């Protein structure tokens, strides 16, 4: 179920409020472009600054919009929290509205021990009959789940995959050596390296902007066409990297705004890119054929 290209969707804003109409259009565009699944309200979806009501409604809207498409794709809802009770409630809601799985980030700020991480995820997995994708991103959470803890958790029938965003090929390799949990890349620039050691695909930021090109890379890697996958990886690599020239999702939302795909609005404490970085981003988009002469997305 968790394989191929899943887009870590942005949450569009208009006048400070969630733009649910634009969100539905984004779902339709993504499905039409061929993505294998959608992931709302993760890091890229600015979940920390959504209210609980907005968080739930965004999940509902993405599930509803996806269900109305000619081609059905799964929705994996972000339901992580640093409160086990809250994560359980969000996961239960995601199941009720039709998400096929939950993406659950490591609890942040309170920095649990490995035993605490284990008990946290096990508690949610025991409480809700919904597949769980673990999300290991120490740069955001301040804690790294070890491969040994991942392997312990993989014994639970509801814990089916891990989004690996530690930036370490060794980490993914060790997880794969210890258990058979499905691994998906959480870093666009490491999609091909991680797939070379068994990862099933990527939960991508850049695919918000150019889903067909990211899909081509993932499909080539999945089919064993190493030459094509390597060529596409190297072509897209500068775009992968510039999407993190400032904190995600600032660059991707700015790029989407430049291409007429988003308002570019962010919620504080996130703010607009510096002028210098905006100029660098625009140059990169133009150089790599994303911006046409009219200033709209061409790929």
Q: Measured on CA atoms in the order 30, 32, 34, 39, is the torsion positive or negative?
A: positive
What is the 8-class DSSP label of residue 247?
A: S
Q: Which of 75, 198, 187 lies closest to 136, judged by CA?
A: 187
What is the 8-class DSSP label of residue 11?
A: -
Which helix (H) or strand (E) segment holds residue 144: the answer is none
Q: Which of 163, 200, 215, 253 is the catalytic position?
A: 163
Q: Which of 118, 135, 215, 253 is the catalytic position?
A: 135
Q: Using omega within 30 degrees of 0 as the cis cutoff, is the peptide bond preceding 249 cis? A: yes
Q: Measured on CA atoms in the order 113, 114, 119, 121, is the torsion positive or negative?
A: positive
Sequential DSSP letters for 132-180 = EEEEE-HHHHS----HHHHHHHTTSTTEEEEEE-SS-HHHHHHHHHH--
Q: Which of 213, 220, 202 lies closest to 163, judged by CA?
A: 202
Whether residue 135 lies in the annotated active site? yes
Q: Which of 78, 40, 5, 80 lies closest to 232, judged by CA?
A: 5
Contact between 137 and 165 under an 8 Å Cβ cutoff? The reply is yes
Tell me the C-alpha to C-alpha distance, in Å, between residue 157 and each of 12, 126, 129, 286. Answer: 34, 9, 9, 46
Nearby residues of 79 by Cβ (< 8 Å), 6 or more positions away: 41, 87, 90, 91, 93, 94, 102, 103, 104
Residues noted as catalytic: 135, 163
């Amino acid at each position: 179920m968790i394989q191929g290209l899943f887009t870590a969707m942005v949450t569009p804003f208009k006048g400070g409020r969630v733009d649910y109409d634009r969100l539905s259009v984004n779902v339709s565009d993504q499905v039409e472009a061929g993505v294998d699944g959608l992931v709302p309200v993760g890091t890229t979806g600015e979940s920390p600054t959504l209210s609980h009501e907005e968080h739930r409604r965004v999940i509902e809207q993405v599930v509803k919009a996806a269900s109305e498409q000619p081609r059905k794709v799964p929705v994996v809802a972000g339901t992580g929290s640093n409160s086990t009770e809250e994560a359980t409630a969000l996961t239960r809601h995601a199941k009720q509205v039709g998400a096929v799985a939950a993406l659950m980030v490591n609890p942040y700020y309170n920095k649990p021990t490995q035993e605490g991480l284990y008990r946290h995820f096990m508690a949610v997995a025991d409480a809700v009959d919904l597949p769980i994708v673990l999300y290991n991103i120490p740069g955001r959470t301040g804690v790294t789940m070890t491969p040994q803890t991942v392997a312990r958790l993989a014994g639970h029938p509801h814990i089916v995959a891990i989004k690996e965003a530690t930036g370490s090929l060794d980490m993914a390799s060790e997880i794969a050596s210890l258990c058979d949990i499905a691994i998906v890349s959480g870093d666009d620039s490491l999609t091909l390296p991680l797939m070379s050691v068994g990862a099933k695909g990527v939960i991508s930021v850049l695919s918000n902007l150019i889903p067909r090109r990211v899909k081509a890379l993932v499909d080539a890697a999945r089919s064993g066409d190493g030459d094509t996958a390597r060529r596409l990886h190297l072509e897209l690599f500068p775009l992968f990297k510039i999407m993190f020239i400032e904190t995600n999702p600032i660059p991707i939302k700015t790029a989407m705004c430049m291409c007429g795909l988003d308002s570019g609005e962010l919620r504080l404490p996130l703010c607009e890119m510096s002028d210098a970085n905006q100029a660098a981003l625009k140059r990169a988009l133009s150089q790599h054929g994303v911006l046409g002469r009219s200033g709209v997305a061409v790929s």
